[in-house]
């Protein structure tokens, strides 16, 4: 018999192409925990009201996506460690006493996919992180927590990268470098945390950074390989990984926060890969 736990949703703008409803309905079926999970399109200026209305009508949990992750952060009563580090919330749990708990599962989603699904390593590795927006913020703390040799940040807007370095340098070795200085470095892992792939834009990267045959990870998932991964492969990247596994793993962690059960992820990743 199924337990009835209604009222879970994703809030964002846009949300129409999100795979989250499909993923959470799949988890719900496999774990036998009934939940209604919908995608809610929230007006850019209307997040605070939408959050209150959802909670008032009995909502139990939310995923938050662009552009509301930072706003969600300031509307919580308590925060998990990853959300505190990231300054952004992608998972909300409404406790029975009415308080709001916010956490960020992007970092753990990335690490589970990269390290457990693909046997990637962080400790002692030289890592290049492209981008300094919300996606980069979500994974930087958890990465630094695992002892990389160094994380280099490159971002189109330099001062955003400087702010990121300022916020995270207490967690480990991280610094900003200009794009035109990159050829002096060699990397074990290059992570694309920019939204350029989403827009099918390709920013100029010096081909020489792929000479050491690094692993390359694009946090974006699309049905076709992203322009970043296509370029990386052509320049000699050793292994190219897209964001599908991370998408599923961060959702599984949200599901765990809400229900205390971690759903199995491999069959879903394989099924989505075929669609």
Q: Which residue has the tokens 């694009």?
A: 218
Whether the CB-CB separation of 228 and 208 falls below 8 Å is answered with no
> Is residue 226 within the footprint of ligand ATR (CB under 6 A)?
no
Give the shortest CB-219-to-ligand ATR separation in angstroms.
Answer: 8
> Is residue 203 within the footprint of ligand ATR (CB under 6 A)?
yes
> Is residue 160 within the footprint of ligand ATR (CB under 6 A)?
yes
Of 196, 209, 248, 272, the one binding ligand ATR (CB under 6 A) is: 196
Query: Does the annotation mark 233 as catalytic?
Result: no
CA distance 44 to 11: 11
| DSSP annotation of 256 | H
Instruction: Pick the closer one to ligand ATR by CB: 35 or 130.
Output: 130
Please pick, among 60, 69, 125, 126, the residue that the annotation labels catalytic. 69
Of 133, 145, 173, 206, the one binding ligand ATR (CB under 6 A) is: 133
Q: Which residues contact 169 (CB under 8 A, 6 or more apart)?
A: 175
Helix or strand run (H / E) with residue 151: strand 150-154
CA distance 81 to 142: 10
| DSSP annotation of 114 | I
CA distance 108 to 114: 10
Instruction: Pick the closer one to ligand ATR by CB: 132 or 232.
Output: 132
Of 156, 175, 211, 273, the one binding ligand ATR (CB under 6 A) is: 156
Give the shortest CB-53-to-ligand ATR separation in angstroms.
Answer: 25
| DSSP annotation of 238 | S
Q: Which residues contact 273 (CB under 8 A, 6 or more apart)?
A: 244
Q: Which residue has the tokens 């991370």?
A: 246
Sketch the per residue contact string, 39 through 68, with ligand ATR: x for CB under 6 A, - otherwise.
---------------------------x--
147: left (phi over 0), alpha (psi -120 to 50) or beta: left
Give the shortest CB-38-to-ligand ATR separation in angstroms.
Answer: 22
Give the shortest CB-254-to-ligand ATR separation in angstroms.
Answer: 17
Q: Is the bond into 214 cis (omega within 30 degrees of 0)?
A: no
Instruction: Pick the closer one to ligand ATR by CB: 102 or 263.
Output: 102
Q: What are phi and psi of 32, to 5 degrees?
A: 65, 30
Of 23, 33, 135, 152, the one binding ligand ATR (CB under 6 A) is: 135
Give the shortest CB-243-to-ligand ATR separation in angstroms.
Answer: 11
Specify the stretch interacting with ligand ATR by CB under 6 A; choose among 17-25, 125-133, 171-179, 261-269: 125-133
Q: Please list the active-site residues.
A: 69
For ligand ATR, the binding residues (CB under 6 A) are: 66, 131-136, 155-157, 160, 194-196, 201, 203
């Amino acid at each position: 018999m199924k337990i009835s736990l209604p009222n879970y949703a994703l809030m964002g703008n846009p949300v129409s192409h999100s795979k989250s409803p499909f993923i959470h309905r799949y988890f719900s079926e496999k774990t036998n925990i009934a939940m209604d999970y919908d995608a809610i399109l929230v007006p850019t200026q209307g997040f605070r009201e939408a959050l209150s209305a959802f909670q008032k009508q009995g909502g139990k949990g939310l995923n938050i996506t662009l552009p509301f992750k930072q706003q969600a952060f300031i509307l919580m009563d308590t925060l998990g460690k990853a959300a505190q580090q990231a300054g952004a919330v992608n998972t909300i749990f409404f406790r029975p006493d009415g308080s709001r708990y916010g956490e960020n599962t992007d970092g753990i989603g990335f690490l589970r996919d990269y390290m457990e699904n693909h046997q990637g390593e962080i400790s002692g590795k030289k890592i290049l992180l492209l981008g300094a927006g919300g996606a980069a913020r979500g994974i930087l703390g958890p990465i630094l927590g695992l002892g990389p040799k160094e994380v280099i940040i490159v971002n189109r807007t330099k001062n955003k990268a400087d702010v990121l370095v300022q916020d995270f340098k207490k967690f480990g070795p991280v610094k900003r470098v200009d794009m035109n200085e990159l050829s002096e470095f060699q990397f074990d892992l290059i992570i694309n945390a920019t939204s350029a792939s989403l827009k099918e834009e390709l920013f100029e990267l010096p081909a020489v950074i792929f000479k050491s045959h690094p692993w390359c990870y694009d946090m974006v998932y699309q049905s076709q390989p992203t322009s970043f991964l296509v370029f990386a492969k052509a320049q000699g990247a050793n292994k190219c990984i897209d964001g599908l596994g991370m998408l599923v793993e961060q959702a599984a962690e949200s599901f765990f926060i809400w229900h205390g059960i971690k759903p199995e992820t491999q069959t879903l990743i394989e099924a989505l890969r075929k669609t």
